[in-house]
Structure 1
Amino acid sequence: MALTDTFVRQVKATGKALGDKYADGGGMYLLVKAPGKYWRLDYRFHGKRKTLALGVYPAVTLAKARQRRDKAREQLADGIDPGIAQREEKRAKVDAAANTFEAVSREWLAKTSGKRAAITQAKVTSWLEKDVLPFIGKLPIASIKAKDVLDKVARRMEARGIHESAHRIVQICSQVFRYAVAVGVIERDVTTDLRGALVAVKKANYAAITEPKQAGQLMRSIYAYAGHPCAVAGLKLSPLVFVRPGELRAAEWAEMDLDAAEWRIPATKMKMKVEHLVPLSRQAVDILRTLQPFTGHGRYVFPSIRTGERCMSENTINAALRGMGYAKDVMTAHGFRAMARTIMDEVLEERTDLIEHQLAHMVKDPNGRAYNRTAHLPARRAMMQRWADYLDKLRIGAEVIPLRKSKK
């Protein structure tokens, strides 16, 4: 006779050591003991008698217990041991709880840290902690759908108007998912389903001044700028070395050899992961020697104003340019590279390959092989000095060579 909800609710333990069993049919029964009421299913698999726990009443109702019984009997019909299936399911749930998006992302950060510059590692970590983990970090990574990433991460950023950053964050999430695939936690990267779902971002070049007369005015503004010594030195050095802004602000005194007038940037900090050598002009060395008494006791050439344990903020140079009256669509910190590239090529007619070397771009020899980091160093050193001298001439208003439309 099948059990009823009323009977299950009212039945009491009789005190038997092994408890009392009340059958419901199909091998399922209610085991009643002093501590509580337990659903059980007796079954045979390959001739061996086994018992499966279906749950504890009242957390598992009579109806729910019957559903679990029916599922177990279907598994038996398919040649599956429901006891083993139940253990595997529980193990999967435990694994899912351990493999949250946050746990996997932090493991990915640690495992791949050697592939990124320290400054990039810090930036990626910050992006995850600010824009991703608070929203999907606690979810098992295997349960996350493309819509979760879109609605809980990307759309939030788009609502703030930071469309380019939304694309970048989704790319980072994709790398975490691909890592999870590689280590066997999930089957696929769900962010591939987001192609075309995000607001499109128009690609734009960094704003830069590339006309000599305007460059001269910019240099006069830089030398008239009255700010923090680090910002002043960073501004003055930017056009002389024209490295990427992140490479400049992360510069360390250990990388500088002022006597040899060289700055060796380690491969870990470079975009192309190749050590970069920057010949320092006399003007650049003077700027660094002037700054050395202020920051030479620490690690960074341009330390953070708040703490010497970090380098200068990525906004410092751009903020200084804005303070000098240069809007973001006129000049940017990254724009010093374009300024040097354009004027050195089209006005001073420096060798293009030397300029590209100094921009840390990949340059190949006639046989198609990449030049090593010291290629043409004497010529590059002379070019950097000519460039610094030319900027001085522009700054003091000396003869300005008009911008040519084409090279001879």
Structure 2
Amino acid sequence: MTQMLTTKSLDALPPATTKRYEVRDQKTNGLHVRVSTTGAKVFYTMVRPNGSRKRIKIGPYPVVSLADARRKAMEIARDVELGEFDKTPDIPVETAPTLGEAIPQFIELYAKPRNKDWKRTQSVLHKFDGLKNRPIDQIKRQDVSKVLDDIIANGTPTRANRALSAIKKLMNWYVMRGDIETSPVALLRPPTPEIPRDRVLNDDEIRAIWRHSEKEGYPFGPFLKLLMMTGQRRTEVAAMRWSELNLDEGIWELPANRVKNGRLHIVPLPPQAVDILRSLHRFLDSDFVFTTTGRSAISGFGRLKERIDAAMPDGTPDWRFHDFRRTASTGMAKIGVAPHVIDAVTNHKSGVVSGVGATYNRYTYFNEKREALEQWANELMKITQKPSTTNAEETS
């Protein structure tokens, strides 16, 4: 924000709420004051010696008065115009961080508090490690485009889209903080067109995966069954805790900090799911339902998929674990479950109840969700108990 700074207006500036903010002076070009969450106010000025933008710290207010700050900002601007700026080494110059410095700061202060999948963001940002020694305000669009081209050349075009999305978020965050004026990647568009997946497993594929799950045993076998039966996300099922479960009531309560959309999610468990969970042994002093160490949830899903692929019918199109959610949603729709109930089961923001109705509707359709999941579990049992129409079992 920009305004005519006065001593009175400086004194009235409130502390920042969550992150520092800036107020630019209308009278003196480049002069601005930064206000921190503690209420501290520091004068800076922005200049461009040799075409490179630099932020120069003048000093804290009120130790440095507004008049002194304006005079110092004008002196620095004069030195820049006369080419004498580099001859004044006593001026503390604040430059933009390098990308190598920016990534961990962005992850710690922005991604971690807001994104449960921050590790994936961190991983994809390291695709730009070739630029890590470059100040972020000196990174150009063509630098980022070259990195994206290399990702595409490695045969992972959709990862290039994810990498661009991550670097855009990082740059926009630094623009918002005032560390850089503009994002160098603002005009870049995703390099690869993406088609939304609509893959739904057919009955033979469901049977093959279910029967493979019985051969897998604990922990991946029961994990696969619950993944298909509940329609919840892979990460949510894999990291299920015993403390989230009330098996007597048949309820799985997912806390907001474990859910993608950050909302408490209640999953009514069908009797078949309760039976599976009751059959499992518990690791001593561990809250994880599916674990091999007791200290962390299961992982290694790539290897699990490879084992399942070997058990699938010949010619099976590529599939992903996320397709289980779409399969469950489609299956519930086929047996007559209403769309808004399916949204409630899968914890999606409903396209049926929207606007003010969505904001004030506190009814979570608990009974309808229970009925829907019980119907889907019964349908799943019918599918898995039918004879296979392919030679999947013989090839598994």
Report the TM-score when normalising by structure 2. Answer: 0.68
Partner of 1:337: 325
Partner of 1:221: 211
Residues 53-202 of structure 1 aligned to structure 2 (within 5 Å):
80=81, 83-84=84-85, 86-87=87-88, 91-92=92-93, 95-96=95-96, 99-112=97-110, 113-117=112-116, 120-129=117-126, 131-132=127-128, 134-151=129-146, 153-195=147-189, 198=191, 200-202=192-194
The letter for the 2-side match of 1:126 is S
Q: Counterparts of 2:386 and 2:344 in 1: how far apart (Å)?
A: 29
Q: Counterparts of 1:191 and 1:390 in 2: how far apart (Å)?
A: 49
Aligned partners of 1:109 and 1:125 also within 8 Å: yes
Aligned partners of 1:222 and 1:236 also within 8 Å: no
Q: Counterparts of 1:313 and 1:307 in 2: how far apart (Å)?
A: 15
Post-superposition offset of 1:296: 6.5
Structure 2: gaps spanning 5 or more residues: 1-75, 388-396
Residues 241 and 105 from structure 1, CA distance in 2 versus in 1: closer, same or farther, beyond 3 angstroms? same
Deviation digits for residues 346-365 of structure 1 (CA, Å, limit 9, x no counterpart): 2x112222112101111254
Extract structure 1 runs of 4+ deviating beyond 6 A: 75-79
Residues 76 and 173 from structure 1, CA distance in 2 versus in 1: closer, same or farther, beyond 3 angstroms? closer
Aligned partners of 1:249 and 1:311 also within 8 Å: yes
Larger radius of gyration: 1
Partner of 1:280: 269
Partner of 1:318: 305
Q: Counterparts of 1:216 and 1:258 in 2: how far apart (Å)?
A: 26
Post-superposition offset of 1:165: 0.5
SS in 2 for 1:165: helix
Post-superposition offset of 1:82: 5.0
Post-superposition offset of 1:331: 3.7
Residues 388 and 368 from structure 1, CA distance in 2 versus in 1: closer, same or farther, beyond 3 angstroms? same
Partner of 2:345: 358
Report the TM-score when normalising by structure 1. Answer: 0.66
Residues 311 and 137 from structure 1, CA distance in 2 versus in 1: closer, same or farther, beyond 3 angstroms? farther
The letter for the 2-side match of 1:107 is Q
Structure 1: gaps spanning 5 or more residues: 1-74, 399-408
Q: Is 2:229 aligned against 1:240? A: yes
Residues 76 and 311 from structure 1, CA distance in 2 versus in 1: closer, same or farther, beyond 3 angstroms? closer
The letter for the 1-side match of 2:305 is N
Matched pairs, number: 308
The letter for the 2-side match of 1:102 is G
Q: Counterparts of 2:82 and 2:343 in 1: how far apart (Å)?
A: 67
Aligned partners of 1:365 and 1:371 also within 8 Å: no
Aligned partners of 1:275 and 1:373 also within 8 Å: no
